[in-house]
């Protein structure tokens, strides 16, 4: 197995580098960006959040889905430089991309791998494959080899109702594994369904108990197996503390999964000092005066009640700014909050900038984050998620996937 890369490589990141991760997109030259919006990724914030979440040797950062839109390879290199010893990815392709850039950490896939080519590649690259049912076990067994066993992570179903063996499957699973020396079970993992909901504490505790019992059965047969239960919310709440690995995702990127639970009863611990790593801005492309009575954008959902100054911003729903935010959100201009007015269009969005001081075309509007005046707060992914009735994960994935990114270390 190759060793983790040295820290030197991680310091070669350039803030001016706006090239999409080639490992994720293939040929970035074929993609013409259609929006002037920019997604800025603060890699130092991710490294700082990682350090706040616990000792590096217990954390398996979850960098699936292009690291929640923050860039798979950039994030992995950043975390490697601050001591990450393991990564959780979605599919095998993501793990293979990390190997191609020389990262030697333990890599665990969370999605089932079906095709023969990927199964073989994972074996040769020492990528740990998730196995959650008998069919997947046999699929892996067909690609294992006694002289070079295929490492697997056994998914335990404890209440998520998605992937994994149930408690009743353990005896048979152990028996089958004993007859398959080409497979090497290195990890047992389970996933919490509602660790972010204090009112569901009993359910989470039951999941933890079920997992512990399953681990006991599995580890008495395979003592080398490690355990992993907690996502960000579980980790913050102290669930699965006996496990060797925790799997934070959202909190690495600055989100607090317990934000929605604030003010509700139930035990809640917090991690202080998490910083959002993603900010998104777009240029104001035009500024105009609006008379009282003039309407703005499709459907005439907004009408000026007074004479006002309107800024037209070069971002829209094709760049991840959900149309459901129409007339309900704000952006920062000149460090102050300007209300968004009228329907969000595909590539344009309008702001009422009457009260934020002088504004000219070429000025910047901040959709997420950005420099802020004393009286205002930056807009967060949590705020947009709350307006839309969704979760910050979705906001980050959308902007990260749809807007040209730059990284700063
Ligand atoms: C996405 C995911 C995580 C990370 O969850 P967060 O809530 O982002 O911390 C952990 N484990 C599994 C199996 C996941 O799919």
pLDDT value of position 278: 98
Residue of 184, 226, 298, 317 with catalytic role: 298
Which residue reads 């010893």 in tokens?
Answer: 85
Q: Where are the domains of the chain?
A: 43-261, 278-408
Whether ligand 1 lies within 6 angstroms of the CB of 232 is answered as yes
Residue 303 predicted with pLDDT over 80: yes
Sheet strands side by side (includes 127-131): 86-89, 106-109, 127-131, 150-155, 183-189, 226-228
pLDDT value of position 219: 98
Query: What would the pLDDT profile of 164-223 be if each residue is shown by its tens digit?
Result: 999 999 999 999 999 999 999 999 999 999 999 999 999 999 999 999 999 999 999 999
Distance 257 CA to ligand 1 centre (A): 11
Q: Do residues 77 and 83 lie in contact, with contact meaning Cβ atoms separated by under 8 Å?
A: no
pLDDT value of position 277: 98
* Segment 59-84 mean pLDDT: 98
Q: Do residues 378 and 393 lie in contact, with contact meaning Cβ atoms separated by under 8 Å?
A: no
State which CATH number among 2.40.37.10, 1.20.120.1200, 3.90.1200.10, 3.40.50.2020 fits the domain covering 278-408. Answer: 2.40.37.10
Instruction: Label residue 29 by pLDDT band (50, 70, 90).
Output: low
Q: Do residues 78 and 47 lie in contact, with contact meaning Cβ atoms separated by under 8 Å?
A: yes
Distance 248 CA to ligand 1 centre (A): 6
* Segment 34-48 mean pLDDT: 97
Whether ligand 1 lies within 6 angstroms of the CB of 62 is answered as yes
Q: Who has greater pLDDT, 261 or 337?
A: 337
pLDDT value of position 261: 78
pLDDT value of position 268: 66
pLDDT value of position 245: 98
Residue 334 predicted with pLDDT over 70: yes
Architecture of domain 43-261: Alpha-Beta Barrel (3.20)
Distance 346 CA to ligand 1 centre (A): 31
Mean pLDDT of the chain: 92
Nearest-atom number in ligand 1 for the CA of 189 is 13
298 part of the active site: yes
Query: What would the pLDDT profile of 234-283 be if each residue is shown by its tens digit?
Result: 999 999 999 999 999 999 999 999 887 777 766 567 788 999 999 999 99
pLDDT value of position 26: 47
């Amino acid at each position: 197995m190759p060793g983790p890369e040295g820290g030197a490589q991680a310091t070669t990141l350039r803030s001016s580098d706006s090239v999409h991760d080639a490992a994720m997109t293939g040929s970035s030259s074929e993609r013409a960006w259609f929006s002037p919006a920019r997604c800025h990724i603060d890699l130092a914030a991710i490294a700082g959040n990682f350090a706040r979440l616990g000792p590096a040797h217990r954390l398996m950062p979850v960098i699936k889905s292009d690291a929640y839109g923050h860039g798979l390879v950039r994030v992995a290199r950043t975390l490697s430089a601050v001591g990450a010893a393991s990564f959780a990815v979605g599919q095998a392709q993501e793990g293979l991309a990390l190997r191609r850039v020389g990262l030697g950490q333990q890599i665990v896939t969370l999605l089932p791998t079906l095709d023969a080519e990927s199964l073989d590649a994972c074996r040769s690259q020492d990528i740990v494959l998730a196995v959650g049912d008998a069919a997947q076990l046999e699929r892996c067994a067909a690609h294992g080899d006694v002289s070079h066993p295929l490492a697997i992570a056994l998914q335990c179903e404890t209440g998520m109702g998605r992937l994994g063996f149930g408690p009743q499957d353990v005896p048979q699973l152990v028996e089958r594994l004993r007859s398959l020396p080409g497979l090497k079970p290195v990890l047992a993992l389970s996933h919490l369904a509602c660790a972010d909901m204090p009112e569901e504490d009993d359910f989470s505790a039951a999941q933890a108990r079920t997992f512990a019992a399953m681990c006991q059965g599995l580890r008495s047969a395979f003592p080398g197996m490690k355990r992993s239960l907690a996502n960000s919310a579980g980790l913050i709440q102290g669930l699965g503390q006996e496990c060797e690995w925790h799997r934070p995702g959202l909190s690495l990127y600055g989100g607090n999964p317990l934000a929605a639970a604030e003010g509700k009863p139930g035990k809640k611990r917090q991690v202080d000092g998490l910083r959002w790593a993603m900010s998104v801005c777009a240029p104001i492309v035009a500024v105009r005066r609006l008379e009282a009575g003039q309407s703005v954008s499709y459907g005439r959902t907004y009408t000026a009640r007074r004479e006002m100054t309107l800024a037209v911003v070069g971002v829209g729903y094709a760049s991840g700014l959900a149309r459901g935010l129409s007339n309900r959100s704000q952006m920062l201009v000149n460090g102050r909050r300007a209300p968004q007015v009228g329907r969000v269009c595909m590539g344009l969005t309008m702001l009422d900038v009457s009260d934020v001081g002088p504004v000219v075309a070429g000025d910047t509007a901040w959709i997420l984050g950005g420099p802020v005046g004393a009286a205002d707060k930056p807009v967060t992914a949590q705020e947009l998620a709350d307006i839309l009735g969704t979760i910050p994960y979705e906001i980050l994935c959308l902007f990260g996937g749809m807007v040209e990114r730059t990284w700063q270390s």
